Amino acid sequence: ETGVTQSPTHLIKTRGQQVTLRCSSQSGHNTVSWYQQALGQGPQFIFQYYREEENGRGNFPPRFSGLQFPNYSSELNVNALELDDSALYLCASSSGTGIYEQYFGPGTRLTVT
């Protein structure tokens, strides 16, 4: 059984650019959630996908968007990057029926200059 993987590990972008982050769910998991963790803060919920449909969104602007694919892998897209978007972006997968078993990937560290 493979765990949650994310790519890339880290990247540097310029303000105004666009970025795509990728996540592969743990085997058998059909729900993916994305979180943003700023330095020194706890993770903040961005949105969740269940069977390719967004079924929950946190307090993030529309320039944060996502996709989930038939194999339950997922993408997070951020347009018009701002300096405050610099953070660790975490992907977590769960079975959709588990009420607590949300497994996190190692994260992608995004730096916006």
Partner 1 sequence: QKEVEQDPGPLSVPEGAIVSLNCTYSNSAFQYFMWYRQYSRKGPELLMYTYSSGNKEDGRFTAQVDKSSKYISLFIRDSQPSDSATYLCAMRTGGNTPLVFGKGTRLSVIA
Q: How far is CA 48 from CA 1, 51, 53, 56, 64, in A?
A: 22, 10, 8, 5, 12
Other Cβ atoms within 10 Å of 103 Cβ, number: 15
Among 25, 26, 74, 102, binds partner 1 (CB under 8 A): 102
Count of alpha carbons within 13 angstroms of residue 75, beta-carbon side: 10
38, 83 contact by CB (below 8 A):
no
**Nearest distance, CB of residue 24 and partner 1, angstroms:** 13
Residue 101 touches partner 1, criterion: CB under 8 A: yes
Segment contacting partner 1 by CB under 8 A, of 12-20, 60-68, 72-80, 99-107: 99-107
Residue 60 touches partner 1, criterion: CB under 8 A: no
Q: Where do contacts with partner 1 occur on this chain (CB under 8 A)?
A: 4, 31, 33, 35, 40-45, 48, 50, 56, 58, 90, 92, 94, 96-107, 109
